């Protein structure tokens, strides 16, 4: 199956309907050649959008990807690279983990990402988390400079509450095109806090990180997960034999806001299984029955 593309916002960009994340790349223990094969495997499925952050793998993942990318012989225009900045891990210069959304830090971080990723532009830059010391005008000024220099094409945020999103958007001369938020059958907070509604109001597609709860859906045995597993299995049977991962993704994809799930597996066969969720059609009854299994109560 070859998955379709989707406009993230009226102004673009166009992303693949499912995105592959590289947070865990350093843990996959792949050789450079295996990483190249994994990237090609994603492209064969139609996954052309790759999600990164400066800090992934303690600042190592962008570079691991970049080393593979440099030898992968793939047309840069055929893929979309997303990365993030704004979190500072503990290093000799920074004895405390902190957030830094100063203009200086954002500009420096993008230059590092470009160097590590072996590319001369980033398709989408996100502020990784809302920084309590954020000066929205300063972030907007950094974004304008990066846009003007052609280093970054589009901008967005991640894990921002609606009021934080509105603050950031109000300081900018051009639109934020997404909010990357946690959303899955295990975590529906973004629905309750208004983040999903704000995306729908603004006509932008949110990106859903940890679509399988970081893998907990397959490994943990809480009451919530046991209820969910039973329900997802039943619905998979009703759908003619879909697996748990496929039903869990179909639940995210059914939302009219057009969530773009960001997958985290390093195993191409799991990515292949996940994209087949796009062929499934879920009824409202099935969607709400998963909601009830997750929340452990009837719909009010």
Scan residues 162-191 and list those touching ligand NAP (CB under 6 A).
Answer: 180
For ligand NAP, the closer CB: 176 or 263: 263
Rounded to the nearest whole angstrom, what is the least distance from the CB of residue 288 to ligand NAP in the complex?
Answer: 22
Residue 121 annotated as catalytic: no
Report angle CA 181, 182, 183 to the nearest 5 degrees: 110
Could you say whether residue 206 binds ligand NAP (CB under 6 A)?
Answer: no
- What Å distances lie between residue 263 and 6, 268, 297, CA to CA? 16, 11, 28
Rounded to the nearest whole angstrom, what is the least distance from the CB of residue 211 to ligand NAP in the complex?
Answer: 5
Residue 112, phi-psi category: left (phi > 0), alpha (psi -120 to 50), beta (remainder): alpha
Inter-residue contact 158 to 129 (CB < 8 Å)? yes
For ligand NAP, the closer CB: 128 or 151: 128
Q: Which stretch binds ligand NAP (CB under 6 A): 8-16, 22-30, 140-148, 285-293?
A: 22-30
In the 8-state DSSP scheme, what is residue 120? S
Helix (H) or strand (E) holding 56: helix 56-59
- Binding ligand NAP by CB under 6 A: which of 76, 97, 115, 267? 267
Inter-residue contact 151 to 110 (CB < 8 Å)? yes
Could you say whether residue 158 binds ligand NAP (CB under 6 A)?
Answer: yes
Residue 269 backbone dihedrals phi, psi, to 5 degrees: -70, -30
Helix (H) or strand (E) holding 87: strand 87-88
Rounded to the nearest whole angstrom, what is the least distance from the CB of residue 174 to ligand NAP in the complex?
Answer: 21
For ligand NAP, the closer CB: 85 or 142: 85
Could you say whether residue 13 binds ligand NAP (CB under 6 A)?
Answer: no
Scan residues 23-52 and list those touching ligand NAP (CB under 6 A).
Answer: 23-24, 51
Q: Which stretch binds ligand NAP (CB under 6 A): 8-16, 164-172, 203-211, 248-256?
A: 203-211
For ligand NAP, the closer CB: 141 or 169: 169
| Chain position carrying tokens 């420096």 | 108
- Binding ligand NAP by CB under 6 A: which of 35, 159, 179, 195? 159
Residue 203 backbone dihedrals phi, psi, to 5 degrees: 70, 35
- Count of residues in the chain: 300
């Amino acid at each position: 199956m070859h998955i379709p593309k989707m406009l993230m916002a009226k102004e673009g960009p166009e992303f693949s309907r499912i995105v592959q994340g590289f947070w865990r790349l350093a843990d996959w223990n792949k050789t450079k050649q295996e990483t190249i094969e994994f990237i090609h495997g994603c492209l064969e499925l139609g996954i052309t959008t790759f999600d990164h952050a400066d800090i992934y793998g303690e600042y190592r993942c962008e570079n691991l990807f970049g080393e593979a990318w440099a030898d992968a012989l793939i047309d840069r225009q055929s893929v979309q690279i997303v990365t993030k900045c704004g979190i500072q891990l503990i290093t000799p210069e920074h004895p405390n983990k902190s957030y830094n959304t100063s203009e200086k830090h954002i500009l420096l971080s993008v230059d590092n990402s470009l160097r590590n990723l072996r590319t001369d532009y980033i398709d989408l830059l996100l502020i990784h988390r809302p920084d309590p010391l954020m000066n929205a005008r300063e972030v907007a000024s950094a974004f304008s400079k990066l846009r003007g220099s052609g280093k970054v094409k589009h901008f967005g945020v991640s894990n921002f509450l609606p009021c934080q999103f509105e603050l950031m958007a109000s300081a900018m001369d051009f639109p934020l095109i997404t909010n990357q938020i946690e959303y899955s059958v295990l975590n529906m907070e973004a629905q309750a806090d208004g983040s999903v509604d704000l995306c729908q109001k603004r006509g932008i597609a949110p990106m859903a990180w940890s679509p399988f709860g970081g893998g907990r859906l397959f490994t943990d045995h809480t009451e919530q997960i046991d209820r969910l597993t039973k329900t997802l299995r039943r619905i998979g049977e009703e759908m003619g034999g879909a697996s748990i991962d496929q039903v869990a993704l179909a639940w995210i994809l059914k939302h009219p806001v057009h969530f773009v799930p960001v997958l985290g597996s390093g195993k191409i066969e799991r990515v292949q299984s996940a994209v087949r969720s796009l062929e499934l059609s879920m009824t409202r009854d099935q969607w709400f029955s998963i909601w009830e299994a997750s929340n452990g109560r009837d719909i009010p």
